[in-house]
Structure 1
Amino acid sequence: MEFFYSYCISGCIGLIENWISGDMHRSADEMATIAAEFVLHGFQAMATL
């Protein structure tokens, strides 16, 4: 379980860094939704975003 948490946290940090460096074109709420979808559904979430 420790590895899963580490994986999820690293991914979320990467999303935030990418969002900030990309001039934050999406809202914070949109980014929260994207992060949650990735954590809950993995790459299957890509089909819905």
Structure 2
Amino acid sequence: MMPTGNVSISNGKGQAQFEIKVLGNTKDLNINLYLEKEPNGQWRLIEMQK
């Protein structure tokens, strides 16, 4: 199971979206992650949905 999604970076500013599957003991979840990056900054988690 590989994460899916996309990353876009332009002039140091970026946006990314990933979907990952988290395997649990009783239930598996698909999690959507949304990240942003400012120029010369680190990636920040903006939103996480299940």
Q: TM-score, normalised by structure 1?
A: 0.24
Q: Where is the strand percentage greater, Structure 1 or Structure 2?
A: 2
Larger Rg: 2
Q: TM-score, normalised by structure 2?
A: 0.24
